[in-house]
Amino acid sequence: MPTLHFQVAGAGALAFTVQHLVIAGWTGRDAQAVEHHVRELQEIGVKPPPTVPCFYVLAPSLLTTSDVLEVPREDSSGEVEFVLLQAAGSLYVGVGSDHTDRKVEAYDVTVSKQMCSKPIGSEVWHFDEVAGHWDSLRMRCWRTRGGRRELYQEGSVDRLLDPRELVRRYTAADSMEPGTAMFCGTQAVIGELGAGTAFEVELYDPVHRRSLRHAYSVRGLVAAE
């Protein structure tokens, strides 16, 4: 199992051995809106998720703190997500990108999640430090495309299920198994969904006036057809 090294804000280093990597999908807090979207996609032939929210279990080796992402081809894109890291006795939160092959996603979401590594920033916070004002946190993503860096996603975490609720939905308990990393949902795209040559993600805490960030470039191993 891979061991990633993080810096915990104000508390030193964290060596985190990834035992389980999970991508949570359909995590919107408005259940009616999520159900409506499921029906819309079903009408155009996209298979609905087995549960809402749903959980995709991935190979732990896909989690990376690298700033360069090699992808199978140029049909993939990132999306900002907050990430929970469950260590023994402590829960941490980071920021990452559920980078996904969009061509494969059109016919098999489960397979598409396995196609690309999942970048995460190397700095994390103790979840307890933000738990009391969690809903005030904001998520942002910038995409570089055609040489232009533009805001690609932005929104508040209160659009998504609270992390504590998401953990309970996944485990039927108040904590996850140590060594579990969970990506917890994203925000709507501003403009066109699609590939880029680089992505930057941010989780911003307006109370403590600080951010978690990660930036990475994308290199396609095979040119798009």
pLDDT in tens, 148-194: 999 999 999 999 999 999 999 999 999 999 999 999 999 988 988 88
C-alpha span between 84 and 180 (Å, rounded): 8
Helices of type H across the chain: 31-43, 102-105, 109-114, 128-131, 163-171
Q: Is residue 48 part of a domain?
A: yes
Q: Is residue 102 part of a domain?
A: yes
What is the value of pTM for the model shown? 0.91
- How is residue 155 written in tokens? 């929104």
Q: Is residue 49 part of a domain?
A: yes
At 209, the pLDDT band (50, 70, 90 cuts) reads very high
Q: Is residue 137 part of a domain?
A: yes
> What are the pLDDT digits (tens) for 211-224?
999 999 999 886 54
Q: Is residue 139 part of a domain?
A: yes
Q: Where in the sequence is the domain holding 207, given as residue range(s)?
A: 3-220
Q: Is residue 150 part of a domain?
A: yes
> What are the pLDDT digits (tens) for 34-76?
776 567 556 645 677 778 899 999 999 999 999 999 988 777 8
Give the phi and the psi of residue 95 in degrees, each rounded to 5: -130, 135
Alpha-carbon distances of 208 from 9, 11, 71, 80, 172, rounded to whole Å: 12, 16, 36, 20, 31
3-state secondary structure of 93: strand
Q: Residues for the chain: how many in total?
A: 225
> What are the pLDDT digits (tens) for 86-138?
999 899 999 999 998 877 776 777 777 888 899 999 999 999 999 999 999 99
C-alpha span between 153 and 19 (Å, rounded): 30
Q: Is residue 225 part of a domain?
A: no
Domain count, the chain: 1
Residue 37 is part of a domain; what is its CATH number?
3.90.850.10
Q: Is residue 203 part of a domain?
A: yes
Give the number of other CB atoms < 10 A from CB of residue 9. 16
- How is residue 42 written in tokens? 């079903």
